[in-house]
């Protein structure tokens, strides 16, 4: 080798990668150990290279706890990159990107009337809840909706018309977040979330503000422990804003309040704060009881029917295996009218069964999620992690079942 040649850098060991990713998330060894069901000394030994690289099932759990987007970031193996919490890019993503990124300063046509835009938006939400491949459906509708809602804001001359247009634009951006989530463009997701919140504030409508805040809190929470405080700040500040309006509130405002209460509980569960998590769930449950029995919030799915599914999520995030299975057994899945939300609940139930060591039941539950809404499971990192783990099962029947499901959701080729 030439003396001037640059030497090959030493590869970063698994434990070092784990420590870097943990520190990047702002997570202590104690917190990570609790999420893994191991001791802090075990985490320290792995990071220090005093223990061998864990087996695949533990690597996948570490990746889940650290919200690692691509498994190669943790393992260092770039030969087969495996996205866990980022699904495949949808074919319609570039069209939505173009509509969001466009910055037209003048309109060459008249904006549609606000009532017309509201009707289109309502149909889009209905389509999202009823379609098995909901990203395909709303991906077709979003580009024109975004452009027309932006145009309506620019062309509004009177203050009331402008506030009404901002409310519609905020909700269009909220719909876009459901499409963009878990796709390979996190910057676009943040841009849409921020625009939604700004438009909502301009609308001065409490319900619209609540919806945009709910989605912003989710964006922070899903970014990892370093963003949990920001998620709480959004949820709690919005709840404080809504509280004086509750005595005379519409069902929609009651529902978004309940959804935000659950969000605060969800974040607490991610922290491992059992008492706070269940206290917020109780508060949200009480709010749900104020709603009509057949009410269902078109954005958040908040309702009486959803509280059983929310209880499963709290228990799973707290890593309470027995409680999560008990909640999964009692939740009324059929009462959830939205196909993607039913599929999401099935995935949470599968996490409960997998946490409890019931791998076969977990896979069966994921198969039901796939039947309800294939795109939901295809873009869900928890489902992908369970399937990937069971593809390596020592039990032939489990391995075969997991492999078949992996092919269906696009993780393995047929």
In this predicted model, what pLDDT tens digit does every residue of 91-109 receive, in sequence order? 899 999 999 998 766 667 8
Residue 302 has pLDDT above 50, yes or no: yes
Residue 74 has pLDDT above 50, yes or no: yes
Query: Contact at 8 Å (CB) between 150 and 98?
Result: no
**In the chain, % of residues over pLDDT 90:** 63
Residue 12 to residues 19, 49, 233: CA-CA distances in angstroms?
11, 11, 36
CA–CA distance, 225 with 46 (Å, rounded to integer):
21
Band (188; pLDDT cuts 50, 70, 90): very high
Q: In this structure, what token pair is assigned to residue 280?
A: 């917020």
More confident residue, 197 or 81: 197
Q: How many CB atoms lie within 10 A of CB 21?
A: 20
Average pLDDT over residues 2-16: 61
CA–CA distance, 255 with 219 (Å, rounded to integer):
20
Task: Return the beta strands (E) in 135-195 as ranges.
Answer: none
Average pLDDT over residues 68-89: 64
Closest CA to 263 of 224, 290, 228: 228
Identify the CATH homologous superfamily for domain 14-75.
Answer: lambda repressor-like DNA-binding domains (1.10.260.40)
Average pLDDT over residues 246-270: 97
Average pLDDT over residues 103-125: 88
Average pLDDT over residues 284-301: 96
133 by Cβ neighbours in 10 Å (0-12 / 13-18 / 19+) ranks as middle
pTM: 0.81
pLDDT score, position 413: 55
More confident residue, 225 or 206: 206
Residue 68 has pLDDT above 80, yes or no: no
pLDDT score, position 412: 62
Q: Which residue has tokens 């057949």? A: 294
Query: Contact at 8 Å (CB) between 366 and 387?
Result: yes
Band (5; pLDDT cuts 50, 70, 90): very low
Please state the domain extents for the chain.
14-75, 334-414
CA–CA distance, 128 with 375 (Å, rounded to integer):
11
Band (2; pLDDT cuts 50, 70, 90): very low
Query: Contact at 8 Å (CB) between 365 and 354?
Result: no
DSSP 54: P
Handedness of CA 19, 25, 29, 34 (dihedral sign): negative
In this predicted model, what pLDDT tens digit does every residue of 343-369 receive, in sequence order? 999 999 999 999 999 999 999 999 999
Band (35; pLDDT cuts 50, 70, 90): confident
Residue 3 has pLDDT above 60, yes or no: no
267 by Cβ neighbours in 10 Å (0-12 / 13-18 / 19+) ranks as buried
Closest CA to 220 of 158, 267, 268, 155: 267
349 by Cβ neighbours in 10 Å (0-12 / 13-18 / 19+) ranks as buried
Q: In this structure, what token pair is assigned to residue 39?
A: 């001791």
Residue 1 has pLDDT above 50, yes or no: no
More confident residue, 103 or 17: 17
More confident residue, 19 or 208: 208
pLDDT score, position 388: 82
pLDDT score, position 382: 87
């Amino acid at each position: 080798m030439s003396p001037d040649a640059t030497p090959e850098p030493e590869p970063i060991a698994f434990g070092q990668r784990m420590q870097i990713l943990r520190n990047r998330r702002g997570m202590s060894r104690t917190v990570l150990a609790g999420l893994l069901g191991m001791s802090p000394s075990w985490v320290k030994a792995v990071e220090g290279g005093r223990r061998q690289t864990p087996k695949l099932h533990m690597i996948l759990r570490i990746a889940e706890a650290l919200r690692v987007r691509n498994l190669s970031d943790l393992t260092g193996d770039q030969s087969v990159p495996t996205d866990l919490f980022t699904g495949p890019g949808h074919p319609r993503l570039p069209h939505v990107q173009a509509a969001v990124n466009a910055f037209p300063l003048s309109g060459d046509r008249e904006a549609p009337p606000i009532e017309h835009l509201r009707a289109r938006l309502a149909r889009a939400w209905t389509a999202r809840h009823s379609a098995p491949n909901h990203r395909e459906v709303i991906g077709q509708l979003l580009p024109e909706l975004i452009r027309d809602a932006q145009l309506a804001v620019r062309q509004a001359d009177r203050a009331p018309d402008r506030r009404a247009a901002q409310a519609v634009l905020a909700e269009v951006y909220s719909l876009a977040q459901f499409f963009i989530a878990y796709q390979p463009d996190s910057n676009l997701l943040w841009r849409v979330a921020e625009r939604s919140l700004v438009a909502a504030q301009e609308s001065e409508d409490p319900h619209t503000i609540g919806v945009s805040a709910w989605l912003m809190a989710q964006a922070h929470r899903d970014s990892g422990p370093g963003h949990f405080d920001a998620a709480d700040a959004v949820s709690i500040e919005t709840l404080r804003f809504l509280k004086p309006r509750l005595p005379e509130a519409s069902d929609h405002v009651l529902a978004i309040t309940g959804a935000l209460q659950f969000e605060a509980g969800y974040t607490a569960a991610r922290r491992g704060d059992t008492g706070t998590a269940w206290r917020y769930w109780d508060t949200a449950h009480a709010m749900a009881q104020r709603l009509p029995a057949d009410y269902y919030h078109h954005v958040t799915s908040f309702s009486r029917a959803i509280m059983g599914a929310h209880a499963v999520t709290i228990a799973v995030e707290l890593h309470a295996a027995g409680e999560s299975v008990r909640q999964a057994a009692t939740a009324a899945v059929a009462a959830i009218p939205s196909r993607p939300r039913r599929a999401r609940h099935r995935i949470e139930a599968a996490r409960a069964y997998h946490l409890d060591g019931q791998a076969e039941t977990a896979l069966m539950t994921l198969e039901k999620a796939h039947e309800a809404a294939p795109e939901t499971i295809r873009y869900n990192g928890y489902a992908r992690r369970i399937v990937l783990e069971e593809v390596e099962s020592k039990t032939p029947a489990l391995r075969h079942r997991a492999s078949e499901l992996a092919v269906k959701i696009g993780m393995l080729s047929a």
